[in-house]
Amino acid sequence: MRAVAVYPRKQEVKLIERPEPRIASATEVRIRMLEVGVCGTDKELCAFVYGTPPPGSDHFILGHESLGEVCEVGRDVKDLQPGDLVVGSVRLPCHDAACEACRNGTQDFCSTGNHREHGIKSLDGFMADFVVEDRAWLHVVPQSLREVAVLVEPLTIAEKAVHEAVRVQSRLPWKASGPRALVLGAGAVGLLGALKLIQEGYQTYIYSLLPAPNPSAAIAQFIGATYISSREVPVDEMAVHLDHIDLVYEALGAAQLAFDVLERLAPNGVFVFTGVPRAESLQPFNTASVIANLVLKNQAILGIVNSGRQAFVDAIRDLGIFHARWPGVLEAMITGRFPMEQFLDPVTGRAGGIKNIIRIAT
Ligand SMILES: [Zn+2]
Ligand SMILES: [Zn+2]
Contact 118, 51 (CB under 8 A): no
Q: What radius of gyration, in Å, describes the C-alpha atoms of the chain? A: 20
Contact 347, 42 (CB under 8 A): yes
Q: How much distance in Å is there from the Cα of 45 to the middle of ligand 1? A: 11
Contact 208, 238 (CB under 8 A): no
* N-terminal to C-terminal alpha carbon distance within the chain: 16
> What is the enclosing helix (H) or strand (E) of 236?
helix 235-242
Distance from C-alpha of 140 to C-alpha of 334, rounded to nearest angstrom: 21
Contact 250, 207 (CB under 8 A): no
Mean pLDDT of 33-58: 96
Q: How much distance in Å is there from the Cα of 308 to the middle of ligand 2? A: 12
Residues 6+ apart with CB under 8 A from 107: 91, 92, 93, 94, 101, 115, 308
Relative to the alpha carbon of 98, which ligand is closest?
2
Q: What percentage of the chain carries pLDDT values higher than 70?
A: 98
Peptide bond into 154 cis (omega under 30): no
Q: Assign 350 a pLDDT band (cuts: 50, 70, 90).
A: confident
Relative to the alpha carbon of 356, which ligand is closest?
1
β-bridge partners, 205 = 182, 226
Q: Give the residue among 135, 148, 130, 166 at the shortest CA–CA distance from 31.
A: 130
Q: How much distance in Å is there from the Cα of 100 to the middle of ligand 2? A: 7
Instruction: Identify the pLDDT of residue 283.
Output: 78
Helices (H) and strands (E) in the chain, counts: 11, 19
Q: How much distance in Å is there from the Cα of 332 to the middle of ligand 1? A: 18
Helix 188-199 and helix 215-223: axis angle, to 10°? 10
β-bridge partners, 184 = 207, 250
Which range, of 9-13, 42-46, 350-354, averages the lowest pLDDT? 350-354
Q: How much distance in Å is there from the Cα of 171 to the middle of ligand 1? A: 31
Contact 85, 68 (CB under 8 A): yes
Whether the per-residue pLDDT at 284 is higher than 90: the answer is no
Contact 316, 141 (CB under 8 A): yes
Relative to the alpha carbon of 99, which ligand is closest?
2
Whether the per-residue pLDDT at 278 is higher than 80: the answer is no
Neighbours of ion ligand 2 (CB under 5 A): 94, 99, 102, 110, 112
Q: How much distance in Å is there from the Cα of 302 to the middle of ligand 2? A: 20
Q: How much distance in Å is there from the Cα of 200 to the middle of ligand 1? A: 23
Distance from C-alpha of 181 to C-alpha of 199, rounded to nearest angstrom: 12
Whether the per-residue pLDDT at 243 is higher than 80: the answer is no
Contact 31, 68 (CB under 8 A): yes
Q: Assign 254 a pLDDT band (cuts: 50, 70, 90).
A: low
Mean pLDDT of 50-65: 98
Helix segments in 170-234, DSSP class H: 188-199, 215-223
For every residue of 40-80, DSSP letters joined together read: HHHHHHHTTSS-BPPTT-S-EE---EEEEEEEEE-TT--S-
Relative to the alpha carbon of 153, which ligand is closest?
1
Q: How much distance in Å is there from the Cα of 119 to the middle of ligand 1? A: 10
Average per-residue pLDDT for the chain: 94
Distance from C-alpha of 304 to C-alpha of 181, rounded to nearest angstrom: 17
pTM for this model (two decimals): 0.96
Whether the per-residue pLDDT at 253 is higher than 70: the answer is no
Relative to the alpha carbon of 106, which ligand is closest?
2
Angle at 196 between CA 326 and CA 181, to 5 degrees: 115
Q: How much distance in Å is there from the Cα of 313 to the middle of ligand 2? A: 21
Relative to the alpha carbon of 103, which ligand is closest?
2
Instruction: Identify the pLDDT of residue 76.
Output: 98
Contact 359, 338 (CB under 8 A): yes
Instruction: Identify the pLDDT of residue 242.
Output: 72
Relative to the alpha carbon of 192, which ligand is closest?
1
For every residue of 277-307, DSSP letters joined together read: PPGGGPPP--HHHHHHHHHHTT-EEEE----
Distance from C-alpha of 69 to C-alpha of 67, rounded to nearest angstrom: 7
